[in-house]
């Protein structure tokens, strides 16, 4: 059991989400960075924000799971999210109770900055996500010529 957990955590991964087909392609593995991100929402901290550090790179942010702590009360816990696409009002994405304490998202991608809000309940609610940064690779002269011939 966790005795203490910080409100947000970040853990670097050494390109753990790259498939074998991507390794064999012409792109370099070093042009991607995968970071695990998480936060805890509770009565004292009802909002958490993920902000990408470098807006010049392509940022992909995927919510993986939202789960209710064992210490949470019996009330309904509602988590809403708002991302950088322009939604000014948070959209509820998870409703948790002890009878359904966890929700997994197989491919929910959001555009940073992403704001999570605990709209109902006192938590604690744990959110885990994955941030992938893609660095566009400049094409070599040979690749540019190949593209010109295809046109």
DSSP of 45-58: --EEEE--S-TTSE
- Whole-angstrom distance, CA of residue 50 vs CA of residue 115: 6
Flag whether 40 is in a domain.
Answer: yes
CATH of the domain at 75: 2.60.120.340
Q: Are 57 and 22 in contact (CB under 8 A)?
A: no
Flag whether 95 is in a domain.
Answer: yes
Q: Are 68 and 97 in contact (CB under 8 A)?
A: yes
Flag whether 3 is in a domain.
Answer: no
Q: How confident is the model at residue 83 (pLDDT cuts 50, 70, 90)?
A: confident
The per-residue pLDDT for range 92-116, each reduced to its tens digit, is 999 999 999 999 999 889 988 999 9
pTM of this structure:
0.69
Q: Which domain holds residue 116?
A: 35-137
The per-residue pLDDT for range 22-59, each reduced to its tens digit, is 433 434 444 678 889 999 999 999 999 999 876 678 88
Flag whether 7 is in a domain.
Answer: no
pLDDT of 77: 97
Flag whether 81 is in a domain.
Answer: yes
Domain tally, the chain: 1
Say if strands 102-110 and 8-13 run parallel, antiparallel, or are unpaired: unpaired
Flag whether 105 is in a domain.
Answer: yes
Flag whether 59 is in a domain.
Answer: yes
Q: Which of 127, 96, 129 has the alpha carbon at shortest distance from 111?
A: 129
């Amino acid at each position: 059991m966790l005795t203490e957990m910080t409100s947000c955590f970040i853990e670097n991964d050494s390109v753990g989400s790259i498939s074998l087909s991507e390794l064999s392609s012409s792109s370099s593995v070093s042009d991607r960075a995968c970071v695990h991100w998480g936060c805890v929402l509770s009565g004292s901290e009802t909002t958490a924000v993920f902000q990408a550090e470098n807006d010049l790179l392509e940022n992909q942010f995927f919510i993986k799971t939202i789960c209710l702590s064992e210490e949470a009360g019996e009330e309904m816990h509602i988590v809403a999210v708002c991302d950088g696409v322009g939604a000014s009002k948070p959209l509820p994405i998870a409703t948790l109770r002890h009878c359904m304490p966890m929700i997994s998202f197989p491919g929910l991608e959001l555009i940073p900055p992403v704001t999570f809000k605990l709209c109902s309940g006192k938590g604690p609610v744990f959110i885990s996500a994955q941030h992938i940064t893609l660095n566009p690779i400049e094409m070599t002269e040979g690749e540019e010529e190949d593209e010109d011939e295809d046109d």
